[in-house]
Copies of this chain bind each other. A is one copy, B any other.
Amino acid sequence: MASIKDVAAEAGLSVATVSRVLNDHPSVSDDARRRVMAAVEALSYRPNAVARSLRTDQTRTLGLVISDVMNPYFTELARSVEEEARALGYSVIIGNADERPELQDHHVTTLLDRRIDGLLVSPTDRGSPRMLEAARAGTPMVFVDRWIPGVDVPVVRSDGRDAVRDLVAHLHALGHRRLAIIAGPAATTTGRERVDAFREALGDHGLDLPDAYIGQGDFQADSGRRVTEGFLDLAEPPEVVFAADNLMALGALDAVRARGLRVPDDLALAAFDDVRWFVHTDPPVTAIAQPTGALGRAAVRALVDRIEGRPGESVTLPARLVVRRSCGEPAPTTQSPHPSPVRRSTS
């Protein structure tokens, strides 16, 4: 593969001049510019990004360490992150942690070794030494969706408190009184917060959340199935399950169906995270929708701000409830794939 020296030789100029042309530095003659361009063309030369990065100490690359790529929510997040990054002139390298701390650590390490300019993380746990160390050492970093308390890093996330309140009001209005939740891992902020928000909202209606109605999941479908089976085996099973993410809701659907029961008649179901498939499931699932694209974009902007020496602030965007049929209400008759929400949180 042709290097800058080959181009310089072909053009009859020094590498310095070639470099100047390539980085359109003002002080080059038109003649030199033309000759360099011709040589570049003739050799189909492309600058070596590795060499350039070594010299300039910047890779124009962002690392994104995500909890689980197979989760449509994170897939969408990753996509919006890449789009915004590309618009700002950065590439993105995605690392999939699969909800496993040791894999997360592996990806953080290799990304850091590659000297990415900044790191976007949706932490699976409370943070490995390597990650905390990097944050302390000043590697530009932003948490997205989930975060680690006590670490001084901007957080871009969505606040589901209002939406959960709307959801509980909706469920209460439908006559449900025994409400259960399939929680996410306690090591994640989203795992804890969603339970807290749910409990708080139940409190508003004078209901409480007994321990038996808190199932411990891990954000994966299997755990949703397992927890739901446990709920159905209780002497007094809940009337509704609220899954803290879309995959556990899918697992819950599996469990209900495997027993030959029906949603919502035998057990109502709601989920955190709205995904397009929820429109087509049997029945369509009532869910709390996060502004996923906006989160990804905001996270990238905050990170790039940090990288380029600007402040880079935390952002919190509201989630909203999307009512469908999985909790018992007849479907609003509408053509739209996303029936109108009960209430839209203010932004």
Q: Which residues of A contact B (CB under 8 A)?
A: 1, 44, 46-51, 53-54, 59, 69-70, 72, 75-76, 78-79, 82, 86, 91, 93-94, 96, 106, 109-110, 112-115, 133, 137, 221, 250, 253-254, 257-258, 276-277, 279-284, 335, 337
Contact of A50 among B1, B59, B282, B284 (CB under 8 A): B59
23 A-B pairs within 8 Å (CB atoms) are namely: A44-B133, A46-B109, A48-B113, A49-B113, A49-B115, A50-B50, A50-B53, A50-B59, A54-B54, A69-B78, A69-B79, A70-B72, A70-B76, A70-B79, A79-B96, A82-B96, A93-B93, A250-B276, A254-B279, A258-B335, A277-B281, A282-B282, A282-B284
List chain B residues, Cβ under 8 A from A115: 48-50
List chain B residues, Cβ under 8 A from A110: 49, 91
Which of A50, A78, A221, A335 has its CB near the most chain B CB atoms (within 10 A)? A50
In the complex, what residue of chain B is closest to A253 when comparing beta carbons?
Answer: B280
List chain B residues, Cβ under 8 A from A133: 44
Shortest A19–chain B CB gap in Å is: 15
List chain B residues, Cβ under 8 A from A113: 46-49
List chain B residues, Cβ under 8 A from A82: 96
Copies in the complex: 2
* Docked-complex contact B254 and A277, CB < 8 angstroms: no
Contacts beyond the supplied A49-B115, A91-B93: 13 A-B pairs with Cβ under 8 Å: A48-B113, A49-B110, A49-B113, A50-B50, A50-B114, A51-B54, A69-B75, A69-B78, A75-B75, A79-B96, A253-B280, A280-B281, A282-B283
List chain B residues, Cβ under 8 A from A250: 276-277, 280
In the complex, what residue of chain B is closest to A225 when comparing beta carbons?
Answer: B337
In the complex, what residue of chain B is closest to A109 when comparing beta carbons?
Answer: B46
